[in-house]
Amino acid sequence: MKQLANKVAIVTGAGSGIGRAIAELYASEGAKLIVSDIAEKGGAETVDAIKGKGGEAIFVKADTSKPEDNKALVEKAVEQFGGLHIAVNNAGIGGPLSFVGEYPIEGWDKVIGINLSGVFYGMRYQIPAILNSGGGSIVNMASILGKVGTKGSAAYVAAKHGVIGLTESAALEYADKNIRINAVGPGYIVTPLITNALDEATLKALVGLHPMGRLGKSEEVAELALWLNSDKASFVTGAYYNVDGGYLAQ
């Protein structure tokens, strides 16, 4: 039997990159997908790819920094597929690059709003629906920068550290209620978030930060998220797993 057969899953930020890879993999393992993104074109392409391989999926446009959009996502999952069992709170942005003493206030607010508050808003509405469905599992997308700092990205680092703490607290609260909640920390992954924003020299420098000598692939992150959201990880909750080519081992 497929690992996620008869499960209903929400994946945010699923219009490209890691989110798309997760949505496609989950669908191939039998999940019914609510594909969410602020980018309608990318979200529609993900749905088309899933349906093209015989999977079930619908697209719902949502800005995760808005509580009402997160609520609507969950309501659509229940309306369309009858419940909710799995969520991946993956939507995120990089934000401005600047030192703390010069960091734009509006940039800070936007990064925290999407990368941290968005995860809270997601779980705020996902958890009651998962409880009503008899239990399930949530994966929150953190980062290697949820464990260490880096210059110029204070908002991103702060948000991702917050995601790990939020994950641990929520996991403790629902550990005896049949909901597992874990965090994943990718290293630098080849996604539009990276390749569209950085020049060749910067990308080469990033490769050098990883002991394996390359950047990661979205599919490699998706495989870890699949395991965490499957019954194979039935005794795993409140954990943080990095998938980073050795970055954090240095």
Q: Which residue type occupies 77?
A: A
Whether 26 is catalytic: no
Active-site choice (26, 103, 156, 188) = 156
Give the torsion sign (CA, 33, 177, 67, 95): negative
* Count of residues in the chain: 250
Helices 154-174 and 118-132, packing angle to 10 deg: 20
Whole-angstrom CA distances from 134 to 7, 26, 128, 246 are: 11, 19, 10, 37
Residues 6+ apart with CB under 8 A from 47: 33, 35, 57, 58, 59
Going by C-alpha positions, the residue among 126, 54, 61, 55 that lies closest to residue 89 is 126
**Is the CB of residue 13 less than 8 Å from the CB of residue 91?**
yes
Positions marked catalytic: 156
